[in-house]
Amino acid sequence: GPRPPPASEAAVALASSTPAPAIAAPVVPTPPAPVGFRPRADRTFREQVEDAEREIIQYVLSHTHDNVTEAARLLDLERGHFYKKMKALGLRRGQSES
């Protein structure tokens, strides 16, 4: 009579016919990145980087209703570094563009 398939073939057949269980990844609401950046000849590279950082931080602070801890987490920055970056860019809580 017919021989059963080798164990490896049986495993492949089983695996291909059995749908993999869905793994639920945690959903982190990430705001979309600000759009509209264009290089400018009248600003230095550093000034343009600071402008972009300022815009991103203001946007994320607005998205988190000025929750610095949440904003820092969304940007994958330590909260202390986030505060230093805000200070260096002349930003304070409550200044976010809503």
Cα 92 versus chain centre, distance: 22
pLDDT at 38: 78
Helices 79-88 and 45-63: angle between axes, nearest 10 degrees: 120
Largest CA distance in the chain: 84
pLDDT at 94: 78
pLDDT band at residue 61 using 50, 70 and 90 as cut-offs: very high
Q: For residue range 19-58, what is the model confidence (pLDDT) as tens digits? A: 555 666 555 566 565 566 678 889 999 999 999 999 999 9
Cβ(96)–Cβ(66) under 8 Å? yes
Question: The pTM is what?
Answer: 0.59
Cβ(70)–Cβ(40) under 8 Å? no
Cβ(89)–Cβ(81) under 8 Å? no
Cβ(71)–Cβ(57) under 8 Å? yes
Q: What φ, ψ does residue 23 adopt, rounded to 5°?
A: -105, 120
